[in-house]
Amino acid sequence: MQSKKYTKKISEIAVEYALERLYEPEDIEERCVSRPDISRPGLPLTGFYQDFEAERVQIFGNMEHSYLESLSPEQRYASLDEFFSHDVSMVVATCEGEIFPEMIELAEKHKTPLYATEKGTSNFTAALIAGLNVSLAERITTHGVFVEVYGEGVLIVGESGVGKSETAIELVKRGHRLIADDAVELKRVSDKTLVGSAPELIKHYVELRGIGIIDVRRIFGMGAVKATEKVDLCIQFEQWDPEKQYERFGLETQYTDILGIRIPSITIPVKPGRNLAVIIEIAAMNNRQKKMGYNTAEEFNKKLMELHEQK
């Protein structure tokens, strides 16, 4: 697994959020945003720049507009000149009032992309942060299969040839959905959420040894595939080892750490005659049941203890 930093083009943000272009430098296609968080530059406009992070998207809302409106033209120009001189990545005005001509003039002077939107500050900020969290999320690509089973995102990992892709096809035939085969791109979109998807090149494709590459979407229909899903459970396939003691009761929940997020995980031994698709269905339903507050293993253990006490 290998992680790296990602960026998003400012021009793509402008198109995605239908921003009005007030000024764009000639090299706008080379300008990128690398941080998912934003900044409201109220304090910097007053002259306080300690810990100011220019690489964030800067949002000018009604509060910033009102402050600048309270200044004299000379003070407003000086405040904005100082602000734009800090090489900020991008400025979006969400205020209801008209854009100050000085903002456009100084954006051109300092080659700073400047946009406006009619959306309210809170709504636009929430949408932008959510979008950037996905676009700029820390991510890795891992070998495995990712399927949605009864609404649960199930990541299946294991050595090549152990039966991951065949199991995925069986699950699709049983009405579940394929997200990725062979390579799964995992993104940490928040401190608690990991989502998985397929690299664009192999999206909807599955490799079956002896047959080759098949297009799941064309063979089984659009309802058999999904673009992305939250990772709820990790299942490790391994060849059956008669000397190994496998979990029998499930009292202790095992976890796999992926990008700093703990994902519930189980190990399933593989040998001829085991219906892996059915086992995964049960595992997905059991995991969902645990999230809803019911743990079958704990309830069974409780009954055993009560029976033992009665004796």
Residue in the block written with tokens 């999230």: 291
Domains and CATH numbers, the chain: 8-135 (3.40.1390.20), 138-300 (3.40.50.300)
The C-alpha atoms of residue 133 and residue 138 are separated, in whole angstroms, by: 9
CA distance 48 to 67: 14
Summary mean pLDDT of the chain: 90
| 4, 244, 248, 308: the active-site residue | 248
The rounded percent of the chain whose pLDDT value lies above 70 is: 96
Model-level pTM? 0.76
Q: b/e per residue, 263-279, with b = 16+ CB within 10 A?
A: bbbbebebeeeeebbee
Q: Which of 21, 37, 87, 143 is catalytic?
A: 143
Per residue in 219-247, pLDDT (tens digit) is 999 999 999 999 999 999 998 877 777 66
244 tagged catalytic: no
Cα gap 1→55, rounded to integer Å:
28
- DSSP per-residue codes, 150-173: TTEEEEEEESTTSSHHHHHHHHHH
Instruction: Say what the pLDDT of residue 273 is.
Output: 78
Beta strand pairing status for 212-215 and 194-197? Answer: unpaired
Position 249 scores a pLDDT of 62
CA distance 193 to 237: 23
Q: Which of 164, 177, 188, 204 is catalytic?
A: 164
pLDDT tens digits, 60-103: 999 999 999 999 999 999 999 999 999 999 999 998 888 999 99
